[in-house]
């Protein structure tokens, strides 16, 4: 993979270049100290990937992304963001302009510590992006697409998962309701749970606006993000959605028609509240799957406290966070939807769930809202 590194800090250009050069199948072909240079390097060197600092002279990161879109340059962009509220706001905008992921600049003093922190963040993202390039090239060079294999058998073997990666997902409303009643019981979901990581901001910006403002139940989301970033994500999404979107707060009771996003760097779980209500708890419990917030942490709390009364969705992301929690939810009758591979930025978390046999439907992103609304309201979105 050919990479251009763009950062106005000579120190960070050198550190990022050193880390990238140590990774297998990665070649740093150029550097840029400002936005204009970044565009020139991309045009001249045609890299596969651009690492892009958000706050640079000449042109900032957002302006570079706009220019890349206008010029049609075929380059993936990884954002390198400052660990600030402003950095979070700019990063969310950048992700919605086409950047595939981001990392934050380590707030550390020692150079070796900074290098190791950068390596821990960059290595899995470069590996995932390299795999995407290889798959894309294979598909591009193939004369015919390979057949789509069905998802693994779910916990309920009498009802194999629906795998619909084409417009044929528009199953009749009656068929969807019959299937959900058979799998999840006759109780309609009282909440929707969503787990997502790499590619999440764009996936959520595609899914949540498709849900009606009168959905009738709360939606709880774990998006892998650091502190200071989830508040910006919530503000960005609430401007696009009929539902109210907020960063979750400790001790608040769940309200219908509200989306709660787990705060970055904290864990979120559900607990019984007063009068039979459901209450959010925000904790500093340790990371799970190297993630805080963790999808498994939230899903497990719901499985333990509110069995059979949730619908779960697992979206694009690296790793397998959410799979163990989904296994518990399935044991209690939860209905599970996974995003399909073609519409994922990284087909990691959904694949882990599908391979574990805990998924009932595998759908493209644009098709997921319909079954959610059908299960809750008895009508398609």
Are 164 and 79 spatial neighbours (Cβ–Cβ below 8 Å)?
A: no
At 152 the pLDDT is 42
Question: How far is 260 from 244, CA to CA, in rounded Å?
Answer: 9
Selecting among 53, 296, 321, 360, the annotated active-site residue is: 321
At 151 the pLDDT is 46
Question: How far is 199 from 217, CA to CA, in rounded Å?
Answer: 25
Candidates 289, 270, 278; CA nearest to 253 is 278
At 153 the pLDDT is 38
At 140 the pLDDT is 52
Question: How far is 59 from 359, CA to CA, in rounded Å?
Answer: 45
Residue-range domains of the chain with CATH: 2-141 (3.40.50.2300), 162-377 (3.40.50.180)
Selecting among 81, 197, 320, 343, the annotated active-site residue is: 197
Candidates 181, 238, 156, 171; CA nearest to 205 is 238
Does residue 256 have a pLDDT over 60?
Answer: yes
At 186 the pLDDT is 46
Question: How far is 8 from 6, CA to CA, in rounded Å?
Answer: 7
In this prediction, residues 233-256 reach a mean pLDDT of 96
Residue 132 exposed, middle or buried by CB count within 10 Å (0-12, 13-18, 19+): middle
Does residue 213 have a pLDDT over 90?
Answer: yes
- Residue with the larger pLDDT of the pair 31 and 276: 31
C-alpha distance from residue 133 to each of 1, 38, 90, 364 (Å): 9, 21, 26, 20
Q: How confident is the model at residue 179 (pLDDT cuts 50, 70, 90)?
A: low
Candidates 372, 246, 363, 258; CA nearest to 315 is 363
User: Out of 177-186, 211-220, 305-314, 370-379, which region has the weakest mean confidence (pLDDT)?
Assistant: 177-186
In this prediction, residues 262-291 reach a mean pLDDT of 94
At 159 the pLDDT is 45
Express each pLDDT in 318-330 by its tens digit.
999 999 999 999 9
- Examine the residue annotation and report whether 224 is marked as an active-site residue of this protein: yes
Q: Record the tokens describing residue 61, joined without a space.
A: 């990161």
- Examine the residue annotation and report whether 343 is marked as an active-site residue of this protein: no
Are 273 and 253 spatial neighbours (Cβ–Cβ below 8 Å)?
A: yes
In degrees, rounded to 5, the angle at the alpha carbon of residue 64 between the alpha carbons of residues 61 and 67 is 155
At 177 the pLDDT is 54
Q: How confident is the model at residue 167 (pLDDT cuts 50, 70, 90)?
A: very low
Are 209 and 243 spatial neighbours (Cβ–Cβ below 8 Å)?
A: no
Residue 136 exposed, middle or buried by CB count within 10 Å (0-12, 13-18, 19+): exposed
At 198 the pLDDT is 92
Question: How far is 223 from 231, CA to CA, in rounded Å?
Answer: 11
Selecting among 7, 163, 224, 232, the annotated active-site residue is: 224
């Amino acid at each position: 993979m050919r990479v251009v590194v763009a950062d106005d800090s000579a120190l960070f250009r050198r550190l990022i270049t050193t880390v990238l050069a140590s990774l297998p199948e990665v070649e740093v072909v150029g550097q840029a100290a400002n936005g204009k240079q970044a565009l020139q390097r991309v045009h001249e060197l045609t890299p596969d990937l651009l690492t892009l600092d958000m706050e640079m002279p000449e042109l900032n990161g957002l302006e570079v992304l706009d220019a890349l879109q206008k010029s049609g340059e075929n380059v993936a962009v990884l954002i390198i963001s400052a660990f600030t509220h402003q950095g979070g706001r700019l990063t969310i905008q950048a992700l919605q302009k086409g950047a595939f992921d981001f990392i934050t600049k380590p707030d550390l003093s020692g150079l070796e510590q900074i290098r190791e922190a950068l390596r821990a963040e960059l290595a899995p993202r470069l590996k995932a992006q390299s795999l995407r390039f290889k798959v894309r090239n294979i598909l591009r060079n193939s004369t015919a697409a390979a057949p789509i294999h069905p998802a693994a058998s779910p916990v309920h073997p009498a009802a194999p998962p629906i795998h619909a990666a084409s417009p044929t997902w528009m199953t009749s409303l009656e068929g969807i309701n019959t299937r959900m009643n058979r799998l999840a019981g006759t109780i309609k979901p009282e909440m929707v749970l969503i787990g997502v990581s790499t590619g999440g901001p764009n996936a959520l910006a595609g899914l949540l606006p498709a849900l009606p403002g009168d959905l009738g139940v709360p939606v709880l989301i774990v998006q892998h993000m650091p502190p200071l970033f989830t508040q910006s994500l919530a503000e960005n999404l609430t401007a696009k959605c009929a539902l109210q979107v907020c960063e979750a707060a400790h001790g608040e009771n769940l309200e219908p028609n509200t989306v709660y996003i787990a705060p970055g760097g904290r864990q979120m779980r559900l607990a019984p509240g007063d009068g039979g209500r459901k209450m959010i708890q925000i904790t500093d419990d340790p990371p799970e799957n190297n993630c805080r917030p963790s999808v498994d942490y939230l899903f497990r709390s719901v499985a333990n406290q509110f069995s059979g009364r949730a619908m779960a969705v697992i979206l694009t992301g690296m790793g397998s966070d959410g799979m163990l929690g989904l296994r518990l939810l399935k044991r209690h009758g939860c209905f599970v939807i996974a995003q399909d591979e073609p519409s994922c930025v990284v087909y990691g978390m959904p694949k882990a769930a599908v391979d574990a046999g805990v998924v009932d439907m595998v759908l493209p992103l644009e098709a997921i809202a319909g079954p959610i609304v059908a299960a809750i309201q008895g009508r398609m979105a």
